Amino acid sequence: MLRGRLPVTHMSSAIAPVKPSGTAGPKEVELILVKEQNGVQFTSSALVSPSGQTHPSGEERETWGKKIDFLLSVIGFAVDLANVWRFPYLCYKNGGGAFLVPYLFFMVIAGMPLFYMELALGQYNREGAAGVWKICPIFKGVGFTVILISLYVGFYYNVIIAWALFYLFSSFSGELPWINCNNTWNSPNCSDLNATLLNDTYKTTPALEYFERGVLHLHESSGIDDLGLPRWQLTSCLAVVIVVLYFSLWKGVKTSGKVVWITATMPYVVLTVLLLRGVTLPGAIDGIKAYLSVDFLRLCDAQVWIEAATQICFSLGVGFGVLIAFSSYNKFSNNCYRDAIITSSINSLTSFFSGFVIFSFLGYMSQKHNVALDKVATDGPGLVFIIYPEAIATLPGSSVWAVIFFIMLLTLGIDSAMGGMESVITGLIDEFKFLHKHRELFTLFIVVFTFLISLICVTSGGIYVFTLLDHFAAGTSILFGVLIEAIGIAWFYGVDRFSDDIQEMIGQRPGLYWRLCWKFVSPCFLLFMVVVSFATFNPPKYGSYYFPTWATMVGWCLSISSMIMVPLYAFYKFCSLPGSFCDKLAYAITPETEHHLVERGEVRQFTIHGFQGSRSSAQIRCDRPGLTNVGVFSDF
């Protein structure tokens, strides 16, 4: 370290190691600046990590090969099939362009803050969804909650990709199999595409019968209690999907980060091509006008706001543990704030853009069948496996357009499925360290286990199991999980401390707006959504089939099985900690890196700080010599 008398207004710097020379890993150095002005010396110093990859704890971790690998992975996960089959329909149904008002409102006050929170949480702690809760051990149960949710979603989400693959194979033919009623699976009720049958409830289209009878073989099942055996065609497609997922994930982000270069970008190419074709069709402009028509009176309907809030909750992918897992492989100094703004904005813009593609074809179908647009507008799997294939079948060169469309569905589904799998794999191998050395085998175990459970969904009655899983696996439970996550970070770990962590990473402290959202707005929003999800619950049904009571109970058990991890783990953790009640409480809500302070009776005081520096206590008093009061705190 060099410090000398320097000429006026000159500055010098010296670098001194702050780690012993024998320390392994990248060296952290102290940069000292010495400035002399008018006979007075000014010094300042800063710690510099040359690689930007090392956490303050000194832990090493695999990182993304390139920054763009991470961005594409997040975008690929967040932009999924729901962007195509859910948002455009909601927009049309709820006032067209007016729907963007509540959608963008909830995006700003809840979607982006929660998205930013998860990226920062994973990047700073550099562990999966369970391991990050070393910051407040009693909340680790919520990590297992989101891991279970991601696992449950994988049971049926991979089946959607298998359907798309089946349709893709079927598209390589001179004539698409859903274009007429001359097939072995068709029923007497099937009517030709050229007939105006949408007004006739007793007739079905070839596209509908191909999906339900040709692909699913639904006519061979009487309900969820009559599933039958797995269909070998769908089982084969599902196996191909599982193999692709395994070889995309087995080496971690080094391989998955390359796969998303195709799976995350291909949908945008295909959507653009389909839009260029769609706008040339008769009736397309009418469909787009209906999509964008503004009806501000719809904003007076509370249901519109509820559906906008629900769409925000599920479209960004918060609460699945995927954002935490992906960001945990970032360099420590990565600008997660910028990433959150970019990726969440792209997700919403993609949803809006896809609406033009969908409604250009729906407008065409409406004019072709001479029916109102609301007769053909729908959402969910029916849109992409029935209505859209039916529209494509009427185009010249329909087989080519079908291949292009189902390739898009495949790529939309694969990277979202990869994200869910990565959440489970990263979350568990970070929690159980011995699995790190056996990632390939553990990944194989997870994908094979998922495949075996998914076989239930490719039976003749598998669509009923699919519907039940879709209804319960990631509904109320994921809202509950994100709520507990937000409370744990904002009210127990502390907004002020969380902001310090972010400043340590990116050199910039989150503004008052973000801290207010994390502390008050987002938790209140999520609590409202949890209450609404219970209040507006409707039993699942598929078409005209209503599920028996026992099936609904099974669905609720599935949902509760993930949510119950929060109180179960909290109870386990509290009972397993040493000492008196106050000692246990101190250990449970104090970061693991500070447990030595608890042992010495030097627990930091948990208080609530006001906006103007005032301080009010919110403490759980534990009157024992040497132990500081313990409670909940937050700073602004």
Structure confidence by residue, pLDDT tens digits, 168-180: 999 998 899 999 8
Q: How confident is the model at residue 377 (pLDDT cuts 50, 70, 90)?
A: confident
**Residue 58: per-residue pLDDT:** 54
pLDDT for residue 2: 39
The pair of structure tokens assigned to 11 is: 């500055």
Cα distances from 345 to residues 78, 86, 349, in angstroms, run 11, 17, 6
Q: Give the DSSP letter string of 491-526.
A: IIIIHHHHHHHHHHHHS----HHHHHIIIIIHHHHH
Task: Give how far Cα 54 sits from Cα of 48, 109, 128, 328, Å.
Answer: 11, 32, 17, 12
Q: Which of 125, 189, 605 is nearest to 330 (CA)?
A: 125
Tokens of 55: 């956490």
Residue 541 backbone zone (phi > 0: left; psi -120 to 50: alpha; other: beta): beta
Helix (H, G, I), strand (E, B) or coil at 5: coil
The residue type at 614: S
User: CA distances (Å), 106 to each of 100, 301, 310, in order?
Assistant: 10, 16, 9
Q: Which 8-state DSSP code applies to residue 12? A: E
Q: Are 325 and 125 in contact (CB under 8 A)?
A: no
User: Apex CA 520: angle with CA 515 and CA 523, to 5°?
Assistant: 110
Give the per-residue pLDDT at 96: 84
DSSP secondary structure letter of residue 214: I
Q: Which parts are annotated binding residues?
A: 76, 78-79, 83, 315, 347, 412, 415-416
The residues with which 294 forms a beta bridge, in sequence order, are 96
DSSP-derived 3-state class of residue 277: helix
The mean per-residue pLDDT over the stretch 78-105 comes to: 89
Can you say whether residue 398 is alpha, beta or left, with left for phi > 0 and alpha for psi between -120 and 50 degrees?
alpha
Question: Closest by alpha carbon to 327, among 428, 419, 248, 415?
Answer: 419
* pLDDT 10s digits, 196-217: 444 555 578 899 999 999 999 9
How many other C-beta atoms are found inside a 10 Å radius of the C-beta of residue 195?
A: 12
pLDDT of 604: 55
User: 183-192, 356-365, 619-628: which range is least confident on average?
Assistant: 619-628
pLDDT greater than 90 at residue 52: no
Angle between helices 140-171 and 476-487 (to 10 degrees): 140
Closest by alpha carbon to 130, among 438, 432, 501, 502?
A: 432
Whole-angstrom distance, CA of residue 339 vs CA of residue 99: 26
Residue 154 gets which letter from DSSP?
H
Nearest C-alpha neighbor of 382 from the set 372, 393, 390: 390
pLDDT at 159: 97
**Nearest CA among 415, 517, 536 for reference residue 475:** 536
pLDDT in tens, 272-292: 999 999 999 999 999 999 998
Mean pLDDT of the chain: 86
Kindly indicate the confidence band of residue 621, based on its pLDDT and cuts at 50, 70 and 90: very low
pLDDT band at 550 (very low <50, low <70, confident <90, very high): very high
Express each pLDDT in 296-343 by its tens digit: 898 998 889 998 988 988 889 999 999 999 999 999 999 999 999 999
Confidence of residue 21 (pLDDT cuts 50, 70, 90): very low
Give how far Cα 132 sits from Cα of 274, 320, 426, 431, Å.
42, 14, 11, 9
- What pTM does this model have? 0.87
Contact 407, 168 (CB under 8 A): yes
Asked if residues 400 and 141 have their Cβ atoms less than 8 Å apart, the reply is: no
Per the annotation, binding residues for Na(+) are 76, 78-79, 83, 315, 347, 412, 415-416
Confidence of residue 405 (pLDDT cuts 50, 70, 90): very high
Question: What local confidence, expressed as pLDDT, does residue 375 receive?
Answer: 82
- The answer to whether residue 195 scores a pLDDT higher than 70 is no
Q: What is the pLDDT of residue 240?
A: 98
**pLDDT at residue 372 in the model:** 85
Res 6 pLDDT > 60: no
Contact 390, 178 (CB under 8 A): yes
Q: Which two tokens stand for residue 472?
A: 């319960």
Cβ count near 17 (within 10 Å): 12
Q: Of 497, 503, 116, 496, give the one whose Cα is nearest residue 332.
A: 503
Q: Where does the pLDDT of residue 603 fall: very low under 50, low under 70, confident under 90, or very high at 90 and above?
A: low
